Structure 1
């Protein structure tokens, strides 16, 4: 076979393979695009801004039981070893964190079992500041949800519905957790409100306080109904002033340790 024939043959082979790979790549891209288009929920069509809804936390960060939620122990010293790292002791429900269904049920879904599709949600923010200004144990009630819908439209299925009570601004003060006489006091959801949200197929609820229930709750009615139903909650959100009432997409960076009842999470909103 002549050299020119060999060269032509190689060229034809390369062009054929290039077409094959180009076609395969195009097919893959189409599949991915179709998956993103059909994903629930769709990403917010916003300006591309990102809000961090997560508190940075350490052993001084307030917790429900008053004990440090995270402890540091030096494991490797940089002066001795050239690098450094810490051993951390973390309590699942500290800082900005998730309550998984398993938190309030013996056989509920653990944090690692929450479907990934439920961790990317349209974000709906209810402004509770006016009520919380006069009542430290203010609650989101069905009327607040109905008012939000009247102003903003229907709550999308798979949404995260969070309230902004302004409590995140108190995080460095005793008032984030207690009244001056030492009683729990912070806003939360009413069971009537979360029962209504359940009928709307909401995926999760979020608070900027220590709990899904208000501080003066004696029965944890929301924890005992919302979580065992297979839904999850986020407590201790920050930065909700930065996001609109409707139109943001929340990304919940849930931990994935097996059999976890919840855990600290990095929560971001794109809008």
Structure 2
């Protein structure tokens, strides 16, 4: 008989994804519209099915390095290990509430490390900006009169430091509850172009970050592996120790 102590205990799971709903999903300006169409019903066809039309980066999603870096891995080039990483969550909600254009600094990361210890090498470094509370509204875009987005993100120097010190390294990534790791007003997307290299990925439009602890969790990225895909709309999970 198998002893209880020998039984596998599954991790606790939290969902870090928004529900994909055309009524609430905010689409990045210029991306294709998100549409769901019912193409079969139980009453008429004996089964229920919908047709989905969306970009690979609609709603909660992950991006592959080739999204911005030619010659770097696309979705079907990634290793399984690239999609399951130790995760840390850095709470910058207070700074972002004061400044919608806030750029997370090296000092912010160092302050986090004073409390929680060094970020493990090749981690998923997630910033909790509070932007997820705006999901489903025009306030998520936060555009000014000229149409410029104002969302917080990482400072370029911070990401370069995270990479150079191994905290992101070759196989790590950045995560956020905004559209992406860049400050919204940076149309050149310099942070994304730095993150999306080697085997690093980006998790974007995350949800439920209050449930993710500052440290001690892993992230697991689901979604479709499209041939030559730039990423995928995704079920992204936080995996927490049991108990």
Q: Match for residue 260 of structure 1?
A: 229
The yes-or-no answer on 1:204 pairing with 2:177 is no
Deviations 1:187-244 (A, max 9, x none): 1111111111112242111010012101111321111112134311011000111121
Question: Any gaps of 5 or more consecutive residues in structure 2?
Answer: 1-8
2:13 — aligned with what?
A: 50
Counterpart CA distance in 2 for 1:219 and 1:257 is 26
State the match for 2:3 in structure 1.
none
Provide the residue aligned with 2:204 in structure 1.
Answer: 235
- Give the match for residue 145 of structure 1: 109
CA distance in 2: counterparts of 1:268 and 1:219, whole angstroms: 30
Secondary structure at 1:216's aligned position in 2?
Answer: coil
Take 2:92 and 2:31, find their aligned partners in 1: how far apart are those partners?
28
In structure 1, stretches of 5+ residues that fail to align are 1-44
Matches of residues 153-232 of structure 1 in structure 2 within 5 Å? Answer: 153-179=117-143, 181=145, 182-199=147-164, 200-202=166-168, 203-232=172-201
TM-score, length basis structure 1 = 0.78
Count of residue pairs brought into register by the alignment: 226
Q: 1:151-190, CA deviations, whole angstroms, 9 ceiling, x for partnerless residues?
A: 1111112211000011001112211112463431111111
Q: Contact (CA 8 Å) 1:243, 1:269: kept in 2 or not? A: yes
Structure 2: distance between partners of 1:205 and 1:164 = 11
Contact 1:118 1:158 in 2 (8 A): no
Residue 150 to residue 229, structure 1, CA distance change in 2 (3 Å): same
Q: C-alpha root-mean-square deviation of aligned residues, in Å?
A: 1.9
- Greater shift in the superposed pair: 61-70 or 136-145: 61-70
Higher share of residues assigned helix? 1
Structure number with larger C-alpha Rg: 1
Runs of 4+ residues deviating >4 angstroms: 66-69
2:219 maps to 250
The 1-side partners of 2:223 and 2:124 are apart by 14
Q: Distance in 2 between matches of 1:201 and 1:125?
A: 13
Give the CA deviation at 1:255. Answer: 2.3
Structure 2: distance between partners of 1:228 and 1:48: 30
**Rounded Cα–Cα distance in structure 2 between residues aligned with 1:180 and 1:174:** 11
CA contact (8 A) 1:63 1:210 kept: no
